[in-house]
Amino acid sequence: MSRSRLTLIAALGLAMTLPCLSAAGAAEFSKEQLAAARAAIDASHVNDGFDNVLLGVTERAKATFIRSYPSYSRQIEDATNKVAVELAGERVELDHQIQQIWAAKFTIPELQEITKFYTSPVGVKLAKETPGMVAQAVPALQAYEQKLSQDMVTKLREELKKLGPPF
C-alpha cells in the first residue's frame, strides 16, 4: 500500500471520529435511544464496510483525473486526498441517519439485547463471518436470478403459445 494511501486512510479515520455536529432528527429520539442504537450498530459491525465507500470514490475520482491529466498526477493525488478528508466528516451524518433507523425499529431494551448478543462469543463470530458469508452468497444469488429469469422466459413462452397467434 502506498504511503499516500496510508496517509489518506489515517486522515479519513481521524476525520470520521469527529463528533456529530448535526442535530437533525434529535427531537424524534432520546439520547438514550440513539446511544442504544449506536451501541447495537457498533457491536453488530453492520456499517463497517461503509468506510470503504469514500475510499472507493476517492480512488475512482483520482484515477479519472489522472487519466485526463497524467502530467499532473502528483497535484491531483494531493488535491483528491485533501477533498476526501474534507468529505469524511459527512460520514458522521450517515451514521446518525443509521442510528435513527435502528432507533425507529427497536426499543431501548431490544437494542440492549442486540448489543448483548453481538458482544457474546457467538455474536462476535456472526459479526466477523457475515461479510464473508454475504460475499459467498452473492454469486449464488446472481446464478439463481439468472436461472430464474431463463426459466420465467421459457415457461412464459410456453404459456403464451397456448393462447395461439401471435405468440
Residue 16 has a pLDDT of 46
Q: How far apart are the first and last CA of the chain?
A: 58
Residue 40 pLDDT: 97
Q: What is the total count of domains within the chain?
A: 2
Give residues with Cβ within 8 angstroms of 81, minimum separation 6: 4, 7, 8, 11, 58
Specify whether 132 is located in the same domain as 104.
Answer: no
Same domain, 26 and 101: yes
Separation of CA 114 from chain center? 20
> 108 with 130, same domain?
no
Residue of higher predicted confidence among 90 and 4: 90
Q: Which of 87, 103, 119 lies at the terminal end of a domain, its last residue?
A: 119
At 1-40, the pLDDT tens digits run: 555 554 455 444 544 444 443 444 444 899 999 999 999 9
Q: Report the chain's C-alpha Rg in angstroms.
A: 23
Residues 136, 109, single domain; the answer is no
Q: How confident is the model at residue 149 (pLDDT cuts 50, 70, 90)?
A: very high
The mean pLDDT of the chain is: 87
What percentage of the chain carries pLDDT values higher than 90? 76
CA 143, distance to chain mean position in Å, is: 23
Q: Which residues contact 102 (CB under 8 A, 6 or more apart)?
A: 37, 40, 41, 111
Domain limits for position 158? 121-167
Pair 127, 47 in one domain: no
Alpha carbons 14 and 6: distance in angstroms, whole number: 12
Q: How many CA atoms lie within 13 A of 18 on its CB side?
A: 16
Which pLDDT score, from 0 to 100, does residue 50 have?
87
* Phi, psi angle pair for 132, to nearest 5°: -65, -40
Same domain membership, residue 57 and residue 41: yes
Same domain as 96, residue 44: yes
Q: Are residues 101 and 91 in the same domain?
A: yes
Give the model confidence (pLDDT) of 35-79 as tens digits. Answer: 999 999 999 999 988 888 999 999 999 999 999 999 999 999 999
CB 100 within 8 A of CB 34: yes
Residues 79 and 161 in one domain: no
For residues 109 and 130, state if they share a domain.
no
User: Do residues 31 and 99 share a domain?
Assistant: yes
> How far apart are alpha carbons 85 and 24 in whole angstroms?
22
